[in-house]
Amino acid sequence: MADSPKKAIVIGASSGIGRAVAVELGLRGYQVGLTARRENLLREAAEEIPTKTIVRTIDISSPESAASRLEELIKQMGGVDVIVINSGVRNPNKDLALKPELDTIAVNVQGFVAMATVALNHFLEKKHGYLAGISSIAGLRGTSNAPAYNASKAFVSIYLNGLWQKCIGTGVTVTDIRPGFVDTDMIADIPSKFWVASPQKAAGQILDAMFRKKKVAYVTRRYILLSWLIRIIPDTLYYKVYKKMRVQ
């Protein structure tokens, strides 16, 4: 039934937001394919899900191999109706070393594109599907402490917008999910945090936004206001606020 998808894949399901999304999908009755680099953590996540699960290791820093493995998983599951792309890395890099920047781009840009193209081509072929990509509110402005991370999340949002345009009138939904602070290891080094959501709360709002066919959704919803402020405040004021929050 087109409006009641029962099979889903979560890319980056070993921890944090991705794991919570996978569990929430299971609680809503979906069979779930779990992918990430660390198989042991995927197996642990699978134990929390009440429905049928399939575990497959995929390292999206090797995009061509990752794309092939995702295609294989989709075939193994007999097709899917939902794909959530959560995989991503954040490498604080205040000294601007080259390797952390390139590693971030390899996963957050190249890896994301590999997963998104496989997912969207599958959905376009069947003329139905829900694709959600996890970008970030960080993609709205740059930061000096992790330049590639913020830039990569801006790329994800713009790329998803292009995919959304491509899907107009096709029966395929594309949603750009822009989280603020979610209580995961990714933000452990940030000393000044506010409006921090649990992964479980974030997961619920992510799925609700996707199934409501939202083009863009902020998680939690209160970040809509902050996103507006981030866009309009002058660079000098933005820098002063960011400097107080960042890790020195």
CA proximity to 206, closest of 21, 15, 78: 21
- Bridge partners for 219 per DSSP: 179
**Single-letter amino acid, residue 20:** A
**Can you tell me the distance from the alpha carbon of 221 to that of 41, in angstroms, rounded to the nearest whole number?**
29
Annotation says 242 is catalytic: no
**Can you tell me the distance from the alpha carbon of 154 to that of 134, in angstroms, rounded to the nearest whole number?**
11
Distance of CA 88 to the CA centre of its chain: 7
Encoded tokens for 109: 């840009």
- Sheet with 31-36, edge to edge strand ranges: 53-57, 31-36, 7-11, 82-85, 129-134, 172-179, 216-219
CA proximity to 74, closest of 125, 28, 40: 125
- Bridge partners for 216 per DSSP: 176
Q: Are 171 and 5 in contact (CB under 8 A)?
A: no
Query: Which listed residue (149, 218, 223, 238) is catalytic?
Result: 149
> Which residues carry out catalysis?
149
